[in-house]
Amino acid sequence: MKLTREEQEMLEGKKGPAVQKAMEMLVEYGEGFNAECMVDVNYVHADGGQVVFHKTVDHIEEYHSRGALARVPASTEVTAMDMSQWKEMGIPEDYAQRQKDVDKKLKEMNFACTYTCTPYLAGYIPPKGSHIASVESSNQTFMNSVLGVRSNRDGGQFTSLSAFTGKYPKFGYHLDENRKGTHLINVRAELKDSTDYGALGLHIGRYVVGSGVPVLKGIKNPTFEDLKALSALMAQGAVALYHIPGVTAEAQTLEEAFHGQIPKDEIVVTQKDIEAVYERLKTAKDPRVNIVDLGCPHYTLEEIRKVASLVRGRKKHTDVIFNVWTVRTVKILADSMGYTGAIEDFGGRIFTDSCITSCQWSPTSRPCSNITVPKRPNFGTFVTDSVKHGWGGPLQLECEGVVLKLEDCIKAAITGRWC
């Protein structure tokens, strides 16, 4: 790779041992993908160091011991618990303390411990055309597509290397030629809410794989929440970049999205296709509901407002757990607006910093040290308005589930039954 003088000095250890090791790994990574040079990154979204995954914690502790510091603004992905409400989650004290130790080390390395899959809700909105490194597939796709930022699909430990150096190998979606459309998607389905947009994203992911870049026509006036859900489910199908002419950042027209080469063939998405997604995700057999889980990806303030308006003055069924997940900055606003109080009066809770499939309850989790593992609840049947959660939840939580619209999720929480 062709390195600048600054990058060569990093590689030679003149910027310290932590930067040297990080640059060595970045160069090796770049050479593996035939990158000609590095790019400067102006933002990084890195792993939050969940204590249930020992390798990520070892990585953080190793670079902390080397004196590493983030050289660019850096946020963090969801972690293993709500840092403030860990007792309410049933987290043992030694487990919580271990997570707090990791939190302390991240902060000492200049990471903003946002602990969210939606860092743009915490104020991290890089300008169009800028280069970043990001863990969390839904964030990568949202920033690539909606914001026009340039990011590959990177692993959690790897992104911190860019934070320590401010560099990233120039390949993949950092190159202009890899950002042009490859598939024309004609959306003829009526999309009524963000749940429908999630179903659309999952459906498209069946046809567009690898480094494909779908271009969607027929989309009318999507909301911010619609695009958040669409990005999250595109990512489940390995789509890291999509274009909606006139909506997303990089294409005002079909011609611009395809760099002047519009394909003759198109994939048509009908209402039946959307309905088929919901049927495919309906794994629940027992009509009784054990948990209603909302906020995957993390909820916006508007989404929390809608929940609060639907539950205000009502009570959930005593046998149902009712959780809403969001980023900490949004919860502060929800507290001040009275939304949190309405949800708590209903019998639910708003949690931050984690999510139900990223915390200690995942059966794939393995604690990084000899700590007390929290007792895992028997989720039985879960209900959610998130297609992403409905797609991954049954496997990750070893339970059955169903994806419903928000109003029906609230009804299920009140009656204790989803049908």
Give the whole-angstrom CA distance, residue 15 versus residue 27.
Answer: 16
Mean pLDDT, range 31-43, rounded to an integer: 97
> What local confidence, expressed as pLDDT, does residue 363 receive?
44
128 token code pair? 């169009």
pTM: 0.95
pLDDT at 392 over 90: no
Same fold across 5-175 and 281-415: yes
CB atoms within 10 A of CB 128: 11
- pLDDT greater than 60 at residue 365: no
Q: pLDDT band at residue 369, thresholds of 50, 70 and 90? A: low
Least confident window among 76-80, 177-181, 183-187: 76-80
Q: Can you give the pLDDT at residue 161?
A: 97
| Chain segment 289-335, per-residue pLDDT in tens | 999 999 999 999 999 999 999 999 999 999 999 999 999 999 999 99
- State which fold the 5-175 domain adopts: Aconitase; domain 3 (3.30.499)
pLDDT tens digits along 247-263:
999 999 999 999 999 99
Looking at domain 281-415, its CATH class is alpha beta
* Sequence spans of domains, the chain: 5-175, 180-271, 281-415
Kindly report, residue by residue over 189-220, the tens digit of the pLDDT: 999 999 999 999 999 988 998 889 999 999 98
**On the CB side of 55, how many CA atoms lie within 13 Å of its CA?**
5
For residue 283, report the phi and psi dihedrals to the nearest 5 degrees.
-100, -10
Q: Mind listing the pLDDT tens digit for each residue in 92-151?
A: 898 899 999 999 999 999 999 999 999 999 999 999 999 999 999 999 999 999 999 999
